Structure 1
């Protein structure tokens, strides 16, 4: 049943996907709120007097409703796109017809998802579909989010061209120029003035193109503002790049924000303004707030949003450098899996399973104490777990015999002592294919204390880095670069402590094993405080993750 041309979806009891007997297909329902309440629609319709026409396709896949509101579109209209592979035409509920919408963001996001007039349809009359595939919605507003959602929307966001409109600095999102909407704060210009005086650039999201909005969330250091759907844009941008400060007029923010934060691991802090504002009636806004003392409120908001100097660029000397501005290391690993398409995978140091879940190939996972917290099997036809140290594993098992092939990809994140990682690398390379890749984590420290061989042995210089422990595996990277110039070593500024990708492997090489004892003595004699953190990173030729953001560029860099 099509959506009505006269009312919004939530006031239309007739639209939806129904069986011949008039029962609403539960899997295709639009539900939101913690109780999963229907948005419009009816559990049952009497279709006896309805004129139904046959659809033009024998089989379609249901893609959900097109909602012209920006926030609802991002969360609901994109929620089923994870399942679209182009093999069947997609069916949307939409009025007007899909590609007649005036909202430019709708057309841009659908295009980025690969949807065109040739493969996407909506019907204006009751239409019979012989077979309709209904994928589960990966985001139920105010109720649930799945990993499928974050992966799908990030892929869509990555298909939007980068504009580099915004830099790594601080921004305040203002709603002062919006004439009507959900919520507004009177005299927000005073808030703008206070933020501007502290170096924040004021941004009006309704004036920005979609690529520019994504650029803001990709590149900003801090984004502050009153809670609004403008902050939903973060789902389209790589996670871990911006620190978001959201001010809410109530004591409890809309749960959609918590779902987004959980789904994409965003860096978000919430602060209530309920004690500082009162609600008033306004014909142009559903909720209109007036500050009890606008100058006091402005000072409070600025004080909360100001970056802690110890967390950002002002903490900068040769032995304590700013946080890496690159993508989160898991995002790079995810892309590496996609571009390399390994047929076998080895992981040392699985812990809770976050990185193992990225793999689809037959896998070996090694950890002396597993604490799996997520679904790690996925589509793997085989996943072998060995709860032991990596040395014990390689003394007793052969990955080639276990998986039936050499290793195409290994991720080494085990014991953070240089001699352990050196042995892990030697063993992984010995069992790798020549076209394989070995990834090393935590080899690019940003300050001296995190390089202690004892975890949390020295307090960090920057307080927010408490718990960041790289150990001294930076020494291993130093040794590999020095003793194996035949390898291709790509060091990336992936947050928080770098990612090193090594290719052009030689499984027959014995140089590291032959001189293992001498190399270990040499590594332990290195003094990072003398080399300096900044000097080490320069010697390692650390590259920005932006250099490998284009599809195929990561593998191209490893093959060059």
Structure 2
């Protein structure tokens, strides 16, 4: 629906999600073991996401790779394809601990625009055991579900949508602001409040997915073509206000 022109994936594992990409991509994982065929121009990075984002130019591949849009760089005054490429779609599925996922979001947002789409995986644990920080189950989300709570609390400028996908849900975030420093300034206090020993106190509405929208409703919503158009035309952030009310919301 969104037709992204580049893609970042944090947490590659065996490549089952990365195999869906058909655009220039960067994929980060300290121990990836890709066993599926990939059909995109991809830079595989064997590193932690923290180390990756600490690099001077982490998205170098999206600027210098075999990008079909690279020819536009010389004609791109807004720098979509130039020296500071911006992410269009990012999928965060790295370490399943709250503080890691929050840092991943913060780092991804710095390389995004308001029209970017940021997806976090494993955001709807089905029971307390799956949400434990100390893994002791087969399926494991860890406590990354807290990222949605923190974003709603500290970043009301964003639209945070829980989606009832199987098995452990995703969250989509719209309206990224790379200039925001709210999370960075509050990071230490947030960690002190939210990183707590097991068992985790998972809200009942998360466990039963009370506020999650159905995938079909999200994909069938009418805002996608206008979001794509706003992205392609590089419309200013003010255009987000006209779109945010049309994005299916968690209740």
TM-score by length of 2: 0.76
Residue 344 of structure 1 deviates from its aligned partner by 1.4
User: CA 1:393–1:485 in 2, change beyond 3 Å: closer, same or farther?
Assistant: same
Name the CA distance, whole Å, in 2 between partners of 1:516 and 1:496: 30
Aligned ranges 1:13-52 → 2 under 5 Å:
none
Distance verdict in 2 for CA 1:518–1:437, change over 3 Å: same
Please name the residue that 2:35 is paired with.
373
**Structure 2 alignment gaps of length 5 or more:** 64-84, 228-242, 247-251
Distance 1:527 1:547 in 2: 34
Q: 1:291-312 CA deviation, whole Å, 9 max, x = no partner?
A: xxxxxxxxxxxxxxxxxxxxxx
TM-score by length of 1: 0.35
CA contact (8 A) 1:475 1:523 kept: yes
Q: Does 1:352 align with 2:23?
A: no
Q: State how 1:469-508 maps to structure 2 within 5 Å.
A: 469-508=140-179
Q: Which SS does the other structure have where 2:130 is aligned?
A: helix
Moved over 2 A (4+): 397-402, 525-530, 532-541, 548-560
Counterpart among 388, 391, 407 of residue 47 in structure 2: 388
Unaligned runs of 5+ in 1: 1-338, 457-465
Q: State the secondary structure of the residue aligned to 2:88.
A: strand
2:215 to 531, 540, 545: 545
Change (3 A) 1:439 1:549: closer
Matching of residues 127-146 of structure 1 within 5 Å: none
Change (3 A) 1:493 1:478: same
Give the 3 Å change call, closer, same or farther, for CA 484–527 of structure 1 in structure 2: farther
Tell me, in whole angstroms, the C-alpha distance in 2 between the residues paired with 1:452 and 1:510: 29
Map of 2:131 onto structure 1: 451
Kindly state the Cα deviation for residue 536 of structure 1 after the two structures are TM-superposed. 3.5
Q: In 2, Cα distance between the equivalents of 1:409 and 1:488?
A: 15
1:468 equivalenced with 2:152 (yes/no) = no
Distance 1:477 1:527 in 2: 19
Aligned residue for 2:192, secondary structure, equals helix
Does residue 33 of structure 2 align to residue 363 of structure 1? no
Say yes or no: does 1:424 pair with 2:100.
Answer: no
Alignment CA distance shift 1:375-1:490 (3 Å): same
After TM superposition, list the pairs within 5 Å mapping 1:150-299 onto structure 2.
none
- Contact 1:491–1:543 (Cα < 8 Å) also in 2: yes
Q: Conserved in 2, the CA contact under 8 Å of 1:418 and 1:473?
A: yes
The higher-RCO structure (CA 8 Å, 6+ apart) is 2
Distance in 1 (CA, whole Å) between partners of 2:200 and 2:192 is 18
Aligned to 1:443, the other structure's residue is in SS state: coil
- How far is the alpha carbon of 1:359 from its aligned partner? 1.2
Q: Which digits, 9 at most, give the CA deviation of each residue in 1:296-346, with x for residues without a partner?
A: xxxxxxxxxxxxxxxxxxxxxxxxxxxxxxxxxxxxxxxxxxx11111111
Q: Does the CA-based 8 Å contact 1:410-1:438 persist in structure 2? A: yes
Higher radius of gyration, 1 or 2 = 1
SS at match of 2:54: helix
| 3-state secondary structure, aligned to 1:494 | coil
For residues 470-493 of structure 1, the C-alpha deviation after alignment (integer angstroms, 9 at most, x for no partner) is 011112222112111110111111
| 8 Å Cα contact 1:455-1:471 kept in structure 2 | yes
| Structure 1 residue matching 2:102: 3-state secondary structure | helix
Q: Please report how far the alpha carbon of residue 402 of structure 1 lies from its aligned counterpart in structure 2 after TM superposition.
A: 3.1
SS at match of 2:146: helix
RMSD (CA atoms)? 2.5
Q: Indicate conservation of the 8 Å contact 1:548/1:554, yes or no.
A: no
Any conservation in 1 of the 2:88–2:116 contact (CA below 8 Å)?
A: yes
Residues 445, 533 of structure 1: 8 Å contact kept:
no
Checking the alignment, whether the CA contact within 8 Å between 1:348 and 1:412 is kept in structure 2 is: yes
1:50-108 superposed Cα distances (whole Å, 9 cap, x missing partner)? xxxxxxxxxxxxxxxxxxxxxxxxxxxxxxxxxxxxxxxxxxxxxxxxxxxxxxxxxxx
2:61 alignment partner in structure 1 = 402
Alignment of 1:22-101 (within 5 A): none
Shift of 1:534: 2.3
